[in-house]
Amino acid sequence: MDKVLVIGACGQVGTELVENLQYIHGSSQVVASDIKTPINEVFSNSEFVHLNVLDKAQIKEVFQTHKPTIVYHLAALLSATAEENPKFGWELNMDGTFNIFDACIEHGVKRIFWPSSIAVFGPTTPRVNTPQSTILEPNTIYGITKLTGERYCEYYFNRYNLDVRSIRYPGLIGWKSFPGGGTTDYAVDIFHQALKNGQYDCFLNEQTTLPMMHMEDAVRATLEITDAPSNLIKVRSSYNIAGVSFNPEQLTQEIKKHIPQFKISYHPDHRQKIANSWPESIDDQIARADWGWQEKYNLEKLVVNILDNLR
């Protein structure tokens, strides 16, 4: 029986991942951890431990006590927050990752999942149908940490046989949890504001097309790549995966089909520059071929699903 440790469990992905893992492995086999105090009730079903990924002694204690066989290491600062404090962004995203990878080796963890992001791409990357292997010159500290992390994933696999798997998440849109400090956060907030106030003031301009994905697809991708037989995982840095690409104007048109009076205004802020450095759409044929990735949600289905659930 596997014992699963989720680190950074209180975030947007962790909250929904923990719920799925409880269902798959049984709640008693899942340990959730975060530096934050949990508020979502999903965390009352499993053991929850306080864990600061920069505290090696605490990491050791958690690994010794719970003996995880599978680890999901999700603790990180997102793009916009990391720009506010680049030194801490580097420290948390990199030192945190080194500490967890090293603990996984020391304690014989079987498999580990580590998320990368479309932020590894930069202004010199081809923007449409961005290939798996391409120019990687990110100009945000978040993107730099994700690119470095990807190189470390591959290095730890080759050097230490650490079975780490990774995907480059696009912007993630769910209804159960909120993102914190990302550039794609508008695509979650817009639904809440549309239902509550019938209007939304968007911090990206109407033409900003970005790769996005329904959270259900993202969680499924995370579980599928982590559970896939090791020989199928041929990319040991991180896989491109695509869901749906749209801009705020296209999302607005789709929301208006359900809330005709919905109005949007645009006041691009510092996050516009980050968004401008990222691709519009992603070529994920290698993930499809290697471990069978396939998305379920297009824009139409995504909007219906999120609105239905929030209502």
DSSP readout, 216-236? HHHHHHHHHHHHS-GGG---S
From 105-113, 153-161, 180-188, 245-253, span contacting ligand SER (CB under 6 A): 180-188
What's the closest the beta carbon of residue 183 comes to ligand SER, in angstroms? Answer: 4
Residue 130 pairs with which residues in a beta bridge? 282
Select 142 or 291, whichever has its Cβ closest to ligand SER.
Answer: 142
What's the closest the beta carbon of residue 76 comes to ligand SER, in angstroms? Answer: 9
Residue 99 Rama label (left phi>0; alpha psi -120 to 50; beta)? alpha
Could you confirm whether 156 is annotated as catalytic? no
CA 158, CA 160: separation in Å to the nearest integer? 6
CA 128, CA 210: separation in Å to the nearest integer? 10
- Read off the DSSP letter of residue 93: I
What's the closest the beta carbon of residue 2 comes to ligand SER, in angstroms? Answer: 27
Query: Which listed residue (72, 142, 152, 169) is catalytic?
Result: 142
CA 243, CA 241: separation in Å to the nearest integer? 7
Select 6 or 77, whichever has its Cβ closest to ligand SER.
Answer: 77
Rg of the chain taking only CA atoms, in angstroms: 19
Q: Report yes or no: 49 and 31 within 8 Å, Cβ to Cβ.
A: yes
Among 15, 125, 177, 184, binds ligand SER (CB under 6 A): 184
What's the closest the beta carbon of residue 213 comes to ligand SER, in angstroms? Answer: 10
Please tell me whether residue 15 binds ligand SER under the rule CB under 6 A: no
The sheet with strand 30-34 has its strands ordered as 47-50, 30-34, 4-7, 70-73, 111-113, 164-165
In the structure, how many helices (H) and strands (E) does the chain have? Answer: 12, 14
Binding mask 69-108 for ligand SER (x = CB under 6 A): ---------xx-----------------------------
Please tell me whether residue 282 binds ligand SER under the rule CB under 6 A: no
CA 274, CA 183: separation in Å to the nearest integer? 7
Residues in binding contact with ligand SER, number by CB under 6 A: 11
Please tell me whether residue 183 binds ligand SER under the rule CB under 6 A: yes
Among 119, 162, 167, 235, binds ligand SER (CB under 6 A): 119
159-178 residues in contact with ligand SER (CB under 6 A) are 169, 171
What count of residues does the chain have? 311
Which spans of this chain sit near ligand SER (rule: CB under 6 A)?
78-79, 117-119, 142, 169, 171, 182-184
Residues annotated catalytic, as ranges:
142
